[in-house]
Structure 1
Amino acid sequence: MAPSTTPNVVFILVDNCGWGDFSCYGGTVPTPRIDSLAADGMRLNNYTVEAQCTPTRSAILTGRLPVRSGTTKVPLPGQGDSGLAPWEYTLAELCSDAGYATGAFGKWHLGETPGRLPTDQGFDEWFGIKNSSDEAGYSSYTRFGELGYPEPQWWEGVKDEPVTAAGVFDRQAKDLGDEKITARTVDFIRRHAEAQKPFFAYAALLQIHPPVGVHPDFKHTSGGGLYADCLTEIDFRVGEILDAINAAGIAQNTIVVFSSDNATSPLKCSDGGSNGPWRGDFFNPPFEGSYRVSALIRWPDHIPAGRQSQELLSAVDWLPTLAGLAGQSLRVPTDRPVDGVDAAEHLLGKQDTSGRDAVLYFGLDGRLMSVKWKNFKVVFRKSDAIGEPITDVQLPMVFNLIGDPGERFNLWEVSMDMGWVMRPVLEQIAQFQQSVAEYPNIATGEDFKGYTSPP
């Protein structure tokens, strides 16, 4: 059997790491393996995600704004069905339909009921947790045990079969979790490289989501405290995956993406974290410190090495962009609005621009928070802290992110001559509203069956 010329895709997603955490982004903890992705590929400096874990993962895997999919916020226990409707078409399904083997390893957080699990959404195999890693702390509370609910579990399964429990997921299991997730990812890569079959591996690591802990092998190894130890472990796990790709002899034919799902937060359970020069943190939407995170992509001999991009890119762009990089084998669906742009030509160095001029940011309630247009941010609503409400502003705030990355100077207060910026911003909003009128948004938990009459 001849080696496949279709590129493999390995997508490594870390949890709640800040834009400035990794040393290639100016962080103070050495992360040489992650830095190698920047050196050998492209560093995205203007990449943004969504407000929480669930919406970001939804955006990555569907190419659609989470407000369209009913995935605008993290579901709470007891709230009923949530996550991606079975109708949604994921990056895994797109790859599977093109003949790829697909595997998901780690955190899912896009539905915990049959029909909404990874093996129902295009993945041939899965090992991980259904929801979020904060569940690791549940069993440490006596009252939780008194409720009689089962302890959170690891899960595993294959397509077309029910998933099964694979061990208790408690604090100790969480600390050992990324070792297990990485080992499964490495085995998947090895198996399919040997079979010379193209594959999509989605490795969703647990670090550094609270409750914060670290594998014993990395405790007190960084010299910088627990958070720094976690960054050291992440770098090691990324290195294990890169080593597996190299050992299989497939580096030249494998696209590697590395990113975080959300920014870091100032929770007192950690002792570090940096969102770089950007204002705010995980709990301060819609400021840049809440949405802008690190993102790296490597594809040797295709994506020129050592480049950086200041172009706008968003989590919804991965599906069409990876399809564009892979060529005609991956076909983006046309029966629904796909919000992502295909930035493949930009990543390949063939085009200066990404094709994206604006990003719309929505809150957990599905309402618009802000619009970023080119280098300007227009804020309609904001939140100042985790315990504070999202509030409307008296007049839209306007910031120039090039000269003011900390969003300190509202240009309405400085000059009062920024009204012209509202025109392109309102045009972006109007285009979205027109799209929603044609393709109504899916409600959270809805068993959506599809649009009856495409326009």
Structure 2
Amino acid sequence: MLSVIISLIVCYNILLTESKPPHIVFIVADDLGWNDVGWHNPAMKTPNLDNLANQGVILNSSYVQPLCTPSRTAFMSGYYPYRTGLQHNVILPWSAAYLRRNYTLLPEKLKNVGYNTHMIGKWHLGFCNWNYTPTYRGFDSFYGYYNGQEDYYSHKIMFGLDYRDDKKVVDDKEGVYSAFSYTERAKKIIESHNTSDPMFLYLAFQDVHAPLQVPKRFEDMYSNINDKNRRIYSGMVSALDEAVGNITKSLVQNGFMDNILIVFTADNGGIPTFGGNNLPLRGAKSTLWEGGTKGASFVYSPTLLDKTGYINTEMMHATDWFATFLDVAGGQPEKGVDGISQWDMLRTGSPSKRNEFIYNIDEINKNAAIRYGDLKLIEGSAGRFNDWYPVPTSNLENFKTADHIYDLNEKTDLGVEHFEIENIAESDEPQYRLFNITADPTEHFDIADQFPDLVTKLKDKLVEYKKLLVPAFDPSFSPKSLPIFYDGVWTPGWC
């Protein structure tokens, strides 16, 4: 009788453990190219990421947005950026733009079902008012920066410091590479967390966004690469890999691995002129080509996935992470979000619940793209990187599209070499292009002229989606934003 009781208790404890919402670690790499991870390119030294990817599920058709702010909007809100007004370019430091508060963000939803929520790294969803910053949008803690890029050592963008610990300015990390600081903060959160409570940890790494900076020991790992940009960039990828490895080790040591879901994704494609590579895909960051919108991605869990160790080719979109994480956590998105839970697909390898998605709709750039089944229709210009780029060189003149660079030294005198990318139409491009992405994943063959009926069908679908468009929220330069008014720090409170 006693043995039966003990067996029942053991079974009850197992069921109780299995019913607990899992810890979720969501890792986003900034501007990481498709060809810049070891599971796509063996020349890249990413053993920690490779190990997680190969033991988990590699996602071969996981789509993101062409730029940083739009992708983060999709992750955090579950809505297509064109439905939030953040579809055009990115939020610039001096712009009073933000992800509006009528959207309930992922960490807020997770807190409602009992999660502790933490964010480390890049926000890029607005900071002109405290109400638009991470700890006012559902995160229990925030350690990172508000803007889209900054120096990895001084933590400044232009002439202003941009580094926060919750609301407090971090001014004692001068000279410390950001990935190292982020790793230490992540380990601190992990070590102090009670594993009986579910944790959501959003790791939005600065690597591998410009400027190209990395400690020399990582650059030296690629001493065989002659091109300086590519050598440093590759070192930055390996610095990111080491950070993920150290954080994963801490998760193991502190008892998280029995009930955890780890997701890794790029936020958009790489930039050829800044070291990134997307081969064999066409295009780059800022474009509607696959090289700008298909993200290197995987999911990993030692216990939650029924099928692992394979490449999943089912369709997934950036908005789906919102709904998927809520499903895993036992929550539910509000009616009307664009994201669809793909948990069954990720867990069992079953078909995707999605057959179509919008790449983007941008009424300022006058371009858009839609995927429907195997087909992809591009309306207007796909962007300024229209080719298939080899391993990049450091000579911008080698790229006929090099004038895409947003040179703020010329434009505004604010002292930054590179910020983001404009997507300006080229006059000789056709208005519509059609590709079969399943048969032609590298977008070599425009079949629009062969199948005019399919072009019309997808155009009609785009028209319906466009009815939901929120005009681009793109305020002009606000001098009140400048750090000279806030002791040299980029600070909320001017809108």
TM-score surpassing 0.5?
A: yes
How far 1:48 sits from its partner (Å)?
1.6
Report if aligned partners of 2:115, 2:199 keep a CA contact under 8 Å in 1.
yes
AA aligned opposite 1:380: E
1:181 matched to 2:182? The reply is yes
Percent of pairs with identical residues: 24
Q: CA deviation at 1:104?
A: 0.5
**Count of matched residue positions in the alignment of Structure 1 and Structure 2:** 415
Q: Secondary structure at the match of 1:255?
A: strand
Match of 1:249 in 2: 255
Contact 2:150 2:156 in 1 (8 A): no
Report matched runs for 1:44-443 at 5 Å.
Answer: 44-72=59-87, 73-79=89-95, 81-113=96-128, 114-134=130-150, 151-157=160-166, 163-167=167-171, 172-173=175-176, 176-192=177-193, 194=194, 196-223=196-223, 224=225, 225-267=231-273, 270=274, 272-283=275-286, 285-303=287-305, 304-326=307-329, 329-334=330-335, 337-349=336-348, 351-363=350-362, 365=364, 367-382=366-381, 383-384=383-384, 385=401, 387=403, 389-391=424-426, 393-412=429-448, 416-436=449-469, 443=473
How far apart are residue 247 of structure 1 and its match?
1.0
Instruction: Give the 3-state SS of the residue equivalent to 2:255 in structure 1.
Output: coil
Is the 8 Å Cα contact of residues 135 and 152 (structure 1) preserved in structure 2?
no
Cα deviation per residue 1:399-451 (whole Å; 9 max; x = unaligned)? 22233333222113xxx331232354235324423445xxx568457xxxxxx
1:207 Cα shift?
A: 0.8
One-letter identity of the residue aligned with 2:32: C
Query: TM-score by structure 1 length?
Result: 0.84
1:290 alignment partner AA: G
Q: Which runs of 4+ in 1 moved over 3 A?
A: 1-4, 134-141, 363-368, 385-388, 391-395, 433-436, 440-445
Q: CA deviation at 1:138?
A: 9.5
Kept in 1, the 8 Å contact 2:434–2:455? The answer is: no
Shift of 1:16: 0.5
- Greater CA drift, 68-77 or 273-282: 68-77
Tell me the TM-score normalized by structure 2.
0.77
Could you tell me which residue of structure 2 aligns to residue 5 of structure 1? Answer: 20
**Cα distance, 1:216 vs. partner?**
4.5
- AA of the residue aligned to 2:289: F
Q: Are residues 320 and 139 of structure 1, via their aligned partners in 2, closer, same or farther at CA, if it must alter by over 3 Å?
A: closer
Residue 305 of structure 1 aligns to which amino acid in structure 2?
T
Supply the distance in 2 between the matched residues of 1:26 and 1:202 (Cα, whole angstroms).
26
Quote the Cα distance in structure 2 between the aligned partners of 1:83 and 1:386.
Answer: 29
Which residue does 1:34 correspond to in 2? 49
CA distance in 2, matches of 1:59, 1:343: 15
Confirm or deny: 8 A CA contact 1:49 1:261 kept in the other structure. Answer: yes
> What residue identity is the alignment partner of 2:196?
Q
User: In structure 2, what residue type is equivalent to 1:406?
Assistant: T
Give, in whole Å, the separation in 2 of the partners of 1:105 and 1:55. Answer: 19
Cα distance in 1 for partners of 2:232, 2:472 equals 40
Change in Cα spacing, 1:386 to 1:100, as seen in structure 2 (3 Å) is: farther
Gaps of 5+ in 1: 146-150, 158-162, 446-455
1:15 is displaced (CA, Å) by 0.7
Structure 2 match to 1:452: none
